[in-house]
Amino acid sequence: MEASTQALKREISAIRTGRATTGLVEHIKVDYSGVPTPLNHLANVSVPGAKYLLIQPWDKGIIQDIVKAILRSDLGLTPSSDGTVIRLNIPPLSEERRQELIKLVHRKVEEGRIAMRNERREAADELKHLEKDKEMSQDDLKMALNKLQKLTDSFVLGAGQMGKDKETELLEV
């Protein structure tokens, strides 16, 4: 469930808001010597201002590859390069785009919740198998299933809170 939470956090941070964050570009894969490599392994990504990102590649020869990868991504941003650094201006979001992104956040949160519930189901099946093999008593099974449900509820609640926080961030003008 912790892994599902971390995956959800990464996916939600990659959704663009009106503010610049390094999480917007960390998931972008750049073709570096024929190997898809995460952007943050090839360059320093910084946020010098609230409305733009600065990408400084460690190898100046891959600037065009980074620009192409950003253009291919679904961010909808146009990078500008001066040969040594890449700047990404973050334009303000329209109200229609904000609503689309909120729907996307809701969908990602629900996918995260489903993944967590699947983990709960697998763990419950394993516990029931232990009880069936007489390695666990029925009372222990019942207590373990209750603890598992409480744990799942807390993770699902955390996922919902992440979604609400992102929604609030998207609605800020």
User: What domains can be seen in the chain, in order of their start residue?
Assistant: 19-89 (3.30.1360.40), 95-171 (1.10.132.20)
With a cut of 80, say whether residue 17 has pLDDT above it: no
pLDDT-derived band at 150 (thresholds 50, 70, 90) equals very high
What are the residues facing 150 on neighbouring strands?
none
pLDDT at 163: 92
Pick from 74, 77, 65: nearest CA to 20: 77
Mean pLDDT calculated for residue range 143-169: 93
Each residue's pLDDT tens digit, 56-101: 998 888 888 998 888 888 777 788 888 889 998 887 778 888 888 8
Q: What are phi and psi of 89, to 5 degrees?
A: -80, 135
Mean pLDDT confidence for 46-63: 86
pTM above 0.85, yes or no: no
Question: Which phi and psi angles does 151 have, rounded to 5°?
Answer: -65, -45
Rounded Cα distance between 158 and 51, Å, is 29
**Per-residue pLDDT band at 173 (split at 50, 70, 90):** low
For the chain, the average pLDDT equals: 87
With a cut of 90, say whether residue 161 has pLDDT above it. yes
